[in-house]
Amino acid sequence: MVESTARTLRADAERSVRAILKAAEQVLTEDPGASMEQIAAAAGVARTTVHRRFASRQALIEALTTSAARQLAQAVEDGRPDTAPPLVAMHRITAGVLQVKSAWAFALELPTAPDSEAALLQRDIARRCVTVLERARADGLIAEGADLEWVRRVYYALLGETLHGDRDGSDPDTLATRIIETLLHGAGPRP
Could you tell me what percent of the chain has a pLDDT over 90?
79
Residue type for 176, please? A
Residues 94 and 126 in one domain: yes
Q: Report pLDDT digits (tens) over 99-148.
A: 999 999 999 999 999 999 999 999 999 999 999 999 999 999 999 999 99
Residues 131 and 95 in one domain: yes
Which of 172, 167, 135 lies closest to 151 in space, CA to CA? Answer: 135
Residues 123 and 66 in one domain: yes
> Could you give the number of structural domains in the chain?
2
Residues 15 and 78 in one domain: no
Q: pLDDT-derived band of residue 8, with 50, 70 and 90 as boundaries?
A: low
What is the distance between the alpha carbons of residues 16 and 8, in angstroms, rounded to a whole number?
12
Predicted model pTM = 0.85
- Please report, for the domain that includes residue 99, its CATH number: 1.10.357.10
The parent domain of residue 149 ranges over: 62-191
Are residues 62 and 116 in contact, defined by beta-carbon separation less than 8 angstroms? yes
Residues 96 and 158 in one domain: yes
